[in-house]
Structure 1
Amino acid sequence: MQNHLFANTKHQFYILNCVGWTGYILTTHVGAIYWDKPINYYWAIFIGGVLGFLLSFLLRPIYRKAWNFSTTKKVLTVIVTCWLLSLVWAIPDNLIFWEVYKHGYRPKHWVSYINGSVSKFYIYLCWSCLYFGIKFYQGMQEATQSALKANALAHEAQLKMLRYQLNPHFLFNTLNAISTLVLENQTERANEMVTRLSNFLRYSLDNDPMQKVTFEQEITTLKLYLGIEKVRFEERLEINFEIDSEAEKALIPSLILQPLVENSIKYAIAKSENGGCICLRAKVFARELLLELKDDGPGVEMVDGELPNGRGVGVKNTRERLSELYNDKHSFTISNIQPCGLQVSIRLPYEIAE
């Protein structure tokens, strides 16, 4: 309830205005106590304070309209408004004071009717500075929140774009393999491949790319993907997993390994008559998850430590995804291994589900 009250700018205005004027009235009464004034003096300054408080409500609609004025026009509006309102406050305030405290006294000169208007002008000027200061601060806060929200949405959109970029090459080859199996009347294998493809696509589309999954779940999904490729390559594709039990509990971005494995199949297994082996190792060391994915393909000539252009779009997407999620708290390196093959090494912070 309290948070809801202060969340509304209109409520904030009324609360702060009441608190400020209450402080002003109490301060004037403290001064009167110090000078040992009679009771009717207190009533006079109390009524005058309430009058000033009520007149201050006229400032808000004027300033709301002046908010979009130029700085010069805004300053002039504040000065003129405060001066006019101080005169409007001074005249009845003096009349009330004379009526209540001086029992009907009236001065001989008209100037006495606007006595105190200068001090009242400064009171309204301070009120105006506070109003614009608070409003400017609120505007800055809203702008900051909007910028943070925009950045968060852009970050989420970037991650989703990278996450959902399934390689068309994989889909084309899979569908082509299914078509071949159907033409060869291998309906059982074709049905198995369709089922695995359906499960894999369902998982990839249903899981939120902003959420992390356990490494054990990631391996299950990876095996689903490799099962599809196994139907295509049969004995030409050898798979070797070396996963520590502690690593299985680690949280990682969903489908972070699939593009890397796909890259190995495309450039190492598919291009070799005899196929090849893909090996995945995972372990935890010094509160970090260490991943190694390697194949025994021909390797590649690196360009400044990177894959050449046109090769490994999935690798690039994975690198960018990790960079978005972990900033500088991770490492991603690609290297050739002896006697042949390519290795991807990833280091991530070790996180587990609570």
Structure 2
Amino acid sequence: MPQWEKLVDSRERLFWTLHTAGWCGFAIIYYIGSFLQDMRSIWLFVIILNAYSGWLLTIPLRYIYRKALTLTPLKMLILVGASLYFTALIWTLVKNVNNWEIYKKGYRPDEWYWYFKDTINSLIMIGCWTGGYFGVKNYQMLLREKQNVLKASSMAHQAHIKMLRYQLNPHFLFNTLNAISTLILMKENKTAEAMVSRLSDFLRYSLDKDPIRRVPLIQEIKALELYLEIEKVRFEDRLTVVWDIEEKTKSALVPSLILQPIIENSIKFAISKLEEGGCISISAKTFGRDLMLNVSDNGPGAEIKNGNLPTSKSGGVGLHNIQDRLEALYVKNYSFVISHNYPSGIKVNIRIPYEISENSSDSKIEN
């Protein structure tokens, strides 16, 4: 929040700052306006004394007006008007006494009502103070409402991102548990046990990560290695993974588990369809101010319409989930493209802003 907004948001600090500055400004303007009339120090003293009395007399108005804001409009107008007029009368009396006792050295008017001479001028000044008070008060209320709206919007945005992110866990878990169940039915207990162990490590990583926060790519690579170890238990030598990770990209921030659904999709619709197995290539490179992530396979491929795979080839929520998460996190500053990989297969490209974690500890691989 900018400094001036912090000042406006702090009621105590703002009131005393503007209250004092306003009356100092009154004294300066009044003295400049009457500079040619009298340049003696005694006249300056009277002006300062009048400004100080105005400073003191308007302090109670703050608490009266604060109470007035809780009343009905009619009662508020009556209370504000009466308080304004009464304060102006008192200030007029004080100013005239200061002027006659100090500047005119004991002058006394013939009629009592002369003590309230120039009440109109006092009303104008106190009226300006009142207008300024309510103006700033309304601005504070608008600023507070704006902050509440932004906070509510941010909370809703974060809840949406969390929802999208947590959809991945049951989606992945369902597929893996099915595979473990199949292994158990086939009495391949050791293989099933290995998958359960790796699944436990992967889910621990998945659940430990805050869906709102982005993590360094090196941590995502570690998570993908855990996931691929699970899949290699099933596919053994049929699954080949080629990594091409540019060194400077390892500290780049990415949404957690953003690549896992893509790799899962490649395994389900590419590797599993090839009797001799297949290859998945994963790369990360920088291009200007962007981070380019690429996942491709050499499977049989699929029909692509308008940059999307048919529903039956999208692995359920997987790829659509990624697009929704990227939209929620980066709005328009990203790209998500699905295309054919030559000579065969599917290629998925993701472009997001290249950002590096300021916390060096974030770059460490977590076990």
Question: Under a length normalisation based on structure 2, what TM-score does the superposition of the two structures give?
Answer: 0.80
Alignment map for 1:29-178 (pairs within 5 Å): 29=31, 34-36=36-38, 45-67=47-69, 78-102=80-104, 104-178=106-180
Equivalent residues of 1:79, 1:125 under 8 A apart:
no
Aligned partner of 2:362 in structure 1 is none
Indicate the SS of the match to 1:201.
helix
Q: Number of matched residues?
A: 353
The equivalent residue for 1:329 is: 333
Contact 1:32/1:42 (<8 A) preserved: no
- Following TM superposition, by how much is the alpha carbon of 1:40 offset from its aligned partner in structure 2, in angstroms? 6.3
Report the CA distance between 1:341 and its aligned residue.
Answer: 2.5
Residue 209 of structure 1 aligns with which residue? 211
Instruction: Give the share of equivalent positions with the same residue, in percent.
Output: 46
Q: Distance in 2 between matches of 1:197 and 1:160?
A: 21
2:297/2:341 contact within 8 Å kept: no
Q: Tell me, in whole angstroms, the C-alpha distance in 2 between the residues paired with 1:41 and 1:11.
A: 31
Which of 224-233 and 104-113 deviates more?
104-113
1:201-280 aligned at under 5 Å gives the runs: 201-271=203-273, 275-280=277-282
The verdict on how the C-alpha distance between 1:41 and 1:274 changes in structure 2, with shifts beyond 3 A counting, is closer
Distance, in Å, in 2 between the alignment partners of 1:17 and 1:33 is: 24
Shift of 1:64: 1.5
Q: Quick one: higher RCO (CA 8 Å, sep 6+), 1 or 2?
A: 2
Instruction: Say whether the 8 Å CA contact 1:215–1:250 is kept in structure 2.
Output: yes
Structure 1 residues 57 and 336: alpha-carbon distance in aligned structure 2, compared to 1, 3 A threshold: same
Question: What is the CA distance between 1:211 and its match in structure 2?
Answer: 3.5
> CA offsets per residue over residues 300-332 of structure 1, 9 Å max, x none?
333433233464411111112222333333211
Shifted more, 138-147 versus 215-224: the winner is 138-147
Q: Deviations over 1:70-91 (max 9, x none)?
A: 7787666544432232123223
Distance in 2 between residues matched to 1:338 and 1:38, nearest whole Å: 93
Aligned equivalents of 1:63, 1:321: Cα separation in 2: 49
Which sections of structure 1, spanning at least 5 residues, go unmatched? none
Contact 1:331 1:348 in 2 (8 A): yes
| Corresponding residue SS for 1:209 | coil
- The Cα RMSD (Å) is 3.5
Amino acid of the structure 2 residue aligned with 1:347: R
Question: Using the alignment, how far apart are the partners of 1:44 and 1:214 within structure 2?
Answer: 68
For residues 168 and 269 of structure 1, do their structure 2 counterparts lie closer, same or farther at Cα, with a shift above 3 Å needed?
farther
Q: Distance in 1 between matches of 2:293 and 2:48?
A: 76
SS at match of 1:238: strand
